[in-house]
Amino acid sequence: MSFSGKKFRRTGGSNLDDFFKESNAPEQYKKMLCSNAPTWCYTMLDAQTLKLEVQTDNGHLKYIFPLGVEQEVRRVDGVKGAYMTFTLEGDNVLKQRIRKPNGTIANFKREFFERSAVMTITMEGADVRKAHVFYEVVD
């Protein structure tokens, strides 16, 4: 996997403010995606298991997900009830689907390159349907 074990930090984004207003995302999640501080690391532990680590100023979050299996997770604000599924396409595309308790669905498509990544976020049923977050590899 071209991304496995690499650390990424946000360098910019497009359409994020309008997207977050439309989606009613938790404030902590907005801060995490819009801040340059967190580093994100996705590591394939085996052919079907993904480890996600997020290092923020407030601490270290670590999750382990089996690919293709929906799991209940706690949001950044500690609330349970969201369901998340990760799938992998080829060596450089990681997809994430989040189903919220109210039934809305957010999709995250991460495309990894040698020294960067682009995450495209779409929200089903929303007027503002797409936003992007850009990342670079942190050495």
Does residue 64 contact residue 49 with C-beta atoms inside 8 Å? yes
Q: Is 42 exposed, middle or buried (0-12, 13-18, 19+ CB in 10 A)?
A: buried
Domain 7-134: state its class.
mainly beta
SS3 label, residue 105 = strand
pLDDT given at position 34:
63
pTM value is: 0.83
> At 87, is the pLDDT very low, low, confident or very high (cuts 50, 70, 90)?
very high
Provide the terminal-to-terminal Cα distance of the chain, rounded to the nearest Å: 18
Q: What's the alpha-carbon Rg for the chain, to the nearest Å?
A: 14
The Cβ-side half-sphere exposure at 7, using a 13 Å CA radius, reads: 11
Does residue 12 contact residue 52 with C-beta atoms inside 8 Å? no
Mean confidence (pLDDT) of the chain: 84
Tell me the pLDDT tens digit for each residue of 37-61.
Answer: 789 999 999 999 999 998 887 788 8
Tell me the pLDDT tens digit for each residue of 103-134.
Answer: 888 899 999 999 999 999 988 876 657 889 99
Domains of the chain, by residue range, sit at 7-134
Name the amino acid, one letter, at 33: L
